[in-house]
Amino acid sequence: VSSEEEELFKEMDDLLSLSVNSKEGFVMLSVSMNSASEAAYTAKAAQEILQKTVIDYKIKSAKEVLSFNKRELELKKIEFDSLQNKLALFKDGNLNIIDSRFENELSKIESEFQIVNAVYQELNKQLEQAKLQVSKDTPIFSVINPVTIPNIRSAPKRSGIVLAYGFVGFILGCGFVLT
């Protein structure tokens, strides 16, 4: 992370507040800024980023399995198609020949084809299972309180500021009068 980005992270850390309740399974996100509309926009953007990050984290391993199964299925499909073509060409080239060498070669090619076909079918099943696993692992988000532009200022509390400075002023005034 560059120094510029680190400064931005520090600023965002001061603006954003995130509290996680793992017992009940919810997250509360709040933003404190001078402008209410900017705070709402920032909160909405942070919510979307947070949801995307959580989803990516939750389904990372399932997606890796899915992409592995896709690659393996593509490779096995190529092998399956080539063996299917080899079997068809062998049968077409030896239509009227009946001898034991032909039968032996045909049996060998057919058994190889059967094995590749079984592996291809199994990879197809695994691919579908991986797709289902990705769907199953994807968390569903429900927004309890949607992002809104606040009508009432939440901070700073003016009465607290007035009381604090009034007290400090009183103490300083008393100190000035007594000295």
Task: Give pTM, 2 decimals.
Answer: 0.57
Residues whose CB falls within 8 Å of the CB of residue 113, separated by 6 or more in sequence, listed in order = 83, 84, 87
Strands (E), 15-147: 16-21, 26-31
CA distances from 71 to 78, 81, 120, 123 (A): 11, 16, 12, 10
Q: What is the pLDDT of residues 68-100, one digit of tens each?
A: 999 999 999 999 999 999 888 888 877 776 777
Element (H, E) at 44: helix 36-58
Q: What is the pLDDT of residues 6-39, one digit of tens each?
A: 888 888 888 888 888 888 878 888 888 888 888 8
Residues whose CB falls within 8 Å of the CB of residue 58, separated by 6 or more in sequence, listed in order = 137, 138, 139
CA distances from 27 to 24, 44, 103, 144 (A): 9, 14, 69, 10
